[in-house]
């Protein structure tokens, strides 16, 4: 998988990829990242990337020409051209996930590309979201995703991070000042993306967030011990995992909920003892305790997630009991 970032502050990204999982993913070439200075695509003495807004008003706007030139240098044609011949229309309704996968597989086979890893990842990720692709076309169409970081964009979620992780190439455009000339969005971008309901001074921080969240979901980036299914927003249902050695592990998927609290040694710290259930090796008990904690935390901090979560009969009973406690 490859990320390309277009920015007027390439120096912002120095250091971001030098630690932990991201560093390893790059070193092992599971992912590559290119950061491109927009000023390299200007032709005046002052290397001008911005201009005043038509219609007046505060601030400056990023000019379209350097961005278009930078995109062309990466081989990115305007959207309409990119989608020509792929069988996908940028104006079509989001397809059903299964249909999209079949279509994409057909198209990929026709074009002779090997995107088998991306297809496998998309399938493993439950083909992303039950509602289908976040983009207007197939979740894994064999062309790059061009994303404009913007406070006006669709909210960035773990489901979308999963979708990007199954994409071969993602191009991220970082705005500055009042933003980017809208024609760049119309002509080139598959999606406007927001990392939250607040206004940042530039898209660089947002791009770094998107890269981090998506990159760690690329197959092979996380070790087995840290599978992304077993954390907040994970897609798998709650279950006791029986490892290859036949030993049950009290780890389980979040089924769309927030994660449970984690503890390590010492068993007592600051006058607080680790919950007894976690110390006694009763895997069924540990699973129940963790599931209850997930439900408690989700109800307290993000009750909106309960609507789309995979809840068992046992979960619903637990939830009722937790709600009653609060009354
Ligand atoms: N005039 C814009 C508005 O009101 O929506 C704000 C522009 S902001 C100061 C400059 C740039 O920061 C944007 O073009 C965008 O690239 C980035 N940005 C700001 N907030 C963001 C957010 N919540 N998510 C993603 N990008 C953001």
pLDDT, tens digit (0-9, with 9 covering 90-100), for 89-106:
443 333 333 444 444 333
When pLDDT is cut at 50, 70 and 90, the band that residue 134 belongs to is low
* pLDDT for the residue numbered 101: 40
Does 199 contact ligand 1 (Cβ within 6 A)? yes
What mean pLDDT is reported for the chain? 81
Q: Is 208's C-beta closer than 6 angstroms to any atom of ligand 1?
A: no
Q: CA-to-CA distance for 208 and 13, rounded, in angstroms?
A: 8
Task: Give nearest CA residue, ligand 1 atom 12.
Answer: 202
Does residue 108 surpass a pLDDT of 60?
A: no
- Report d(CA 201, CA 127) in Å as an integer: 34
Residue 110: the pLDDT is 33
> How would CATH label the architecture of 229-326?
Orthogonal Bundle (1.10)
Reported as a single tens digit per residue, the pLDDT across 27-80 is 999 999 999 999 999 999 999 999 999 999 999 999 999 999 999 999 999 988
| Whether 41 contacts 66, CB under 8 Å | yes
Q: Which two tokens stand for residue 91?
A: 């104006």
How many angstroms does the Cα of residue 291 sit away from the middle of ligand 1?
A: 37
Structure tokens at 106: 């057909």
| Ligand 1 pocket mutation, candidates 149, 157, 172, 195, criterion most atoms within 8 A of CB | 149
Residue 146 predicted with pLDDT over 70: yes
> Which pLDDT value is given to residue 173?
98
**Ligand 1 centre from 203 Cα, in Å?**
6
| Cα separation, 149 vs 230, whole angstroms | 28
- 2-215: CATH architecture: 3-Layer(aba) Sandwich (3.40)
pLDDT recorded at residue 256: 82
Q: What are phi and psi of 308, to 5 degrees?
A: -100, 5
DSSP-assigned states of every residue in 201-267? SBSHHHHHHHHHHHHTTSTTSS-GGG-GGGSTT--SPP--EE-TTS-EES----TTSPPPP---S-S
For 281-285, what is the mean pLDDT?
Answer: 90
Highest mean pLDDT range out of 42-56, 273-287, 301-315?
42-56
Q: Which range has the top average pLDDT, 13-17, 113-117, 224-228, 267-271?
A: 267-271
Q: Is the CB–ligand 1 distance for residue 200 below 6 Å?
A: yes
Question: Is residue 207's pLDDT more than 90?
Answer: yes
Alpha helices in the chain (DSSP H): 20-27, 64-73, 79-83, 97-111, 116-124, 158-165, 182-188, 204-215, 283-301, 305-308, 313-326
| pTM of the predicted structure, to 2 decimals | 0.83
Domain map (residue ranges) of the chain: 2-215, 229-326
Please report, rounded to a whole number, the percentage of residues in the chain having pLDDT higher than 90: 59
212 or 141: whose pLDDT is higher? 212
């Amino acid at each position: 998988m490859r990320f390309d970032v277009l920015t007027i502050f390439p120096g912002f990204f120095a250091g971001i990829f030098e630690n932990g999982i991201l560093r390893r993913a790059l070193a092992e070439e599971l992912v590559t990242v290119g950061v491109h200075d927009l000023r390299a695509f200007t032709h005046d003495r002052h290397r001008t990337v911005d201009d005043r807004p038509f219609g007046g008003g505060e601030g400056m706007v990023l000019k379209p020409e350097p961005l278009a030139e930078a995109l062309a240098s990466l081989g990115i044609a305007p959207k309409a051209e990119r989608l020509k011949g792929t069988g996908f229309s940028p104006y079509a309704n989001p397809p059903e996930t299964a249909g999209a996968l079949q279509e994409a597989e057909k198209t990929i086979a026709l074009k002779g590309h090997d995107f088998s890893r991306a297809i496998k990842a998309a399938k493993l990720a439950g083909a992303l979201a039950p509602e289908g692709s976040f983009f207007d076309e197939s979740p894994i169409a064999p062309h790059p995703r061009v994303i404009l970081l913007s406070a006006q964009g669709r909210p960035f979620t773990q489901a979308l991070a999963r979708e990007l992780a199954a994409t071969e190439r993602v191009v991220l455009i970082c705005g500055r000042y009042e933003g980017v000339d809208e024609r760049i969005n119309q002509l080139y971008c598959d999606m406007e993306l927001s990392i939250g309901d607040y206004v940042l001074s530039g898209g660089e921080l947002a791009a770094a967030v998107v890269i981090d969240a998506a990159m760690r979901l690329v197959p092979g980036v996380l070790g087995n011990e840290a599978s992304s299914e077993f954390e907040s927003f994970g897609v798998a249902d709650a279950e006791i995992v029986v490892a290859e050695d036949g030993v049950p592990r009290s780890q389980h998927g979040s089924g769309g909920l927030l994660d449970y609290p984690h503890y390590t040694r010492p068993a007592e710290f600051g006058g607080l003892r680790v919950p007894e259930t976690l110390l006694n090796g009763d895997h069924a008990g540990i699973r129940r305790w963790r599931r209850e904690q997930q439900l408690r935390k989700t109800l307290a901090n993000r009750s909106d997630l309960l609507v789309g979560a995979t809840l068992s009969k046992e979960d619903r009973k637990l939830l009722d009991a937790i709600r009653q406690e609060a009354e």
